[in-house]
């Protein structure tokens, strides 16, 4: 498994797309932090003393779509660059390939959470200091925000991996989740206001946005999101194990 992990890691660190996705996530988080402080809204005024407002500033933003795209890239890069055949010739046991891709994908999800979370905390603390505000949150509360973001990012990256393994086409593996998030998720929230909490987007809201009216807690939401991720990877692996590669 070691050589396979090194091979998969090498693939994802030597092409530009993952770095561009990660850079876009960091840039968007930075822009959101600056706008939150300098926006001139009631929320930005509350940052001087309100713990809830500061939590919004220091928590990583809802940027799980970037982790989803990274997972799709891991699943589909071999097909896009025609390296799937040599990959499977070197490792005929396809489930081992899926397992290695899942490990690399989880690492990318964690890296995304650390990069976005580090940007939020570094910029947030700096902007609060420049504004003369005192920190109303403890280190444990900041760490909890990172842990929630890491859970969501890793799970969404694995969801992207499963979708990519099922669809195989890189463009489709990226566009389909984007359409689902932009169109289907709002429709589900409108049509099923109670049941939508149990969909991946609802679970993500519970974890990242700390929704007070949610019917379940953060721990159960994290477990259900992990189950979705595991199911997507298993389904993708099962299809890959039986499908012709060309």
What's the structural domain count of the chain?
A: 1
Q: Are 72 and 161 in contact (CB under 8 A)?
A: yes
- What tokens does 130 get? 């420049």
Spatial separation of the C-alpha atoms in residues 204 and 188, rounded to whole Å: 14
Spatial separation of the C-alpha atoms in residues 193 and 202, rounded to whole Å: 10
- pLDDT for res 91: 79
- pLDDT for res 43: 57
- pLDDT for res 151: 94
pLDDT along the chain (246 residues), means of 10: 86 92 94 77 62 78 89 90 82 87 95 92 82 74 87 94 91 88 78 84 86 83 94 92 74
- pLDDT for res 3: 82
- pLDDT for res 47: 67
Q: Which residues of 136-163 are buried (b: 16+ CB within 10 A; e: fewer)?
A: bbeeeebebbbebbbbbbbbbbbbbbbb
- pLDDT for res 40: 55
Domain enclosing residue 105, as ranges: 2-242
- What tokens does 59 get? 């928590």
135: exposed, middle or buried (C-beta count within 10 Å: 0-12, 13-18, 19+)? middle
- pLDDT for res 245: 67
- pLDDT for res 189: 76
- pLDDT for res 69: 94
């Amino acid at each position: 498994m070691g050589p396979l992990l090194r091979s998969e890691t090498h693939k994802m660190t030597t092409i530009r797309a993952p770095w561009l996705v990660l850079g876009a996530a960091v840039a968007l988080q930075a822009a959101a932090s600056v706008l939150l402080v300098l926006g001139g809204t009631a929320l930005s005024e509350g940052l001087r003393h309100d713990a809830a407002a500061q939590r919004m500033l220091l928590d990583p933003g809802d940027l799980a779509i970037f982790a989803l795209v990274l997972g799709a890239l891991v699943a589909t890069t071999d097909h896009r660059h025609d390296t799937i055949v040599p990959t499977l010739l070197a490792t005929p046991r396809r489930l081992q390939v899926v397992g290695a891709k899942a490990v690399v994908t989880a690492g990318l999800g964690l890296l995304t959470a650390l990069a976005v979370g580090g940007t939020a905390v570094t910029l947030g603390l700096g902007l609060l200091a420049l504004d003369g505000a005192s920190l109303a949150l403890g280190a444990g509360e900041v760490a909890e925000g990172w842990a929630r973001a890491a859970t969501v990012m890793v799970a969404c990256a694995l969801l992207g991996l499963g979708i990519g393994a099922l669809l195989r086409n890189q463009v489709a593996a990226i566009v389909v989740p984007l359409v689902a998030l932009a169109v289907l998720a709002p429709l589900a929230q409108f049509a099923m206001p109670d049941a939508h909490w149990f969909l991946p987007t609802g679970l993500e809201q519970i974890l990242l946005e700390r929704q007070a009216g949610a019917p379940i807690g953060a721990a159960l939401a994290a477990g259900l999101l992990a189950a979705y991720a595991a199911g997507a990877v298993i389904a993708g692996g099962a299809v890959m194990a039986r499908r012709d590669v060309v």
